Amino acid sequence: MNDLHRLPSYTLVISCPDKVGIVAAVAQFVAQRSGSLLESNHHTDVEQGWFYMRNVISAESLAVSLAQFREEFAPLALEFDMQWHVRDNADLQRVVVMASHASHCLADILHRWKSGELPCQIPCVISNHENLRSMVEWHGIPFHYVPVPKEDKSAAFEQVTDIVRRHQADTVVLARYMQIIPPSICDEFAGRLINIHHSFLPSFIGANPYQKAYDRGVKLIGATCHYVTEDLDEGPIIEQDVIRVNHSCDKDDMVRLGRDVEQAVLSRGLRHHLEDRVIVRGNKTVVFSS
């Protein structure tokens, strides 16, 4: 697993049509610059004929600068028709977190961030309620209150978009934000907008999943971390988990038990995303989780 952010390192992520020789070409490219691989994963989707790769390279071992690496890698990438990026892991992503009234997912993210566990910056938190302001500000993070009136939400979402842009967010996290995101935002942040849904998707899509789970009498409840697309709760899944319930659990018990799964699944999914372990293709993800 190796916490990437302990040693100076670059993460190179590649996806391209599958072909003999990709691994050799990339590994040789890195080795010729004396780059030491701290972690390396690849996967071939045989059915789709598609190749996925993630390499973490020790920055100190590499004989060239990151700029040079990029420049010199470009022709190779072209040859194999790669979608690719390489990131200096010292440049922490800027993550804007959006929350509503419930505190658990936000509190969990803030604590992990403060204790240095989540490799990111949090330039601000946006909420449609005021109740979490003090918690956020205690962490030294600006809090933006943007109420979302039922009758017309467009102005509110313009303001949200403006704040997110102004803070130059790399990633936006919906930490139980509980509002449907307009298509314009979904588009602008495609692949960078992460939601936690409080059910094991595709079960119980939409509102009130715990009530639906209670009514159906399921014996496990779950949570799903996924990228947001225009289709509600239909985006690519990053991470899921479940917890056992039984007949003695009413809906409020499920809500309480579910909170733990929600925050665990969101923080794992977000961590995978921040460490460039997730590659989206179509409506599915490759997650190089370890």
Binding to a copy of itself (CB under 8 A) within 60-89 occurs at 61
The one segment of 9-17, 23-31, 145-153, 159-167 that binds a copy of itself by CB under 8 A: 23-31
The one segment of 38-46, 145-153, 157-165, 189-197 that binds a copy of itself by CB under 8 A: 38-46
Tokens representing 1 are 């697993």
Q: How far is the CB of 213 from a copy of itself (least distance, A)?
A: 9
- Which residues inside 82-121 make contact with a copy of itself, applying CB under 8 A? 103-104, 107, 111, 114-115, 117
Cα-Cα-Cα-Cα dihedral of 170, 171, 177, 180, to 10°? 90
Decide: is 1 part of the binding site for a copy of itself (CB under 8 A).
yes
Q: How far is the CB of 161 from a copy of itself (least distance, A)?
A: 28
Mark 125-149 as b/e (b = at least 16 C-beta within 10 Å).
Answer: bbbbeeebeebbeebebebbebebe
Catalytic-residue membership of 233 = yes
Decide: is 43 part of the binding site for a copy of itself (CB under 8 A).
yes
- Which residues inside 186-245 make contact with a copy of itself, applying CB under 8 A? 200-204, 216-220, 222, 236-242
Q: How far is the CB of 163 from a copy of itself (least distance, A)?
A: 25
- 184 - beta bridge partners? none
The number of residues that bind a copy of itself (CB under 8 A) is 76
CA distances from 206 to 177, 180, 202, 218, 282 (A): 13, 10, 10, 17, 22
Q: How far is the CB of 158 from a copy of itself (least distance, A)?
A: 32
Closest CA to 266 of 169, 174, 131, 136: 174
Report the alpha-carbon distance of residue 174 to residue 3 in Å, rounded. 25
Q: Which residues are annotated as catalytic? A: 233
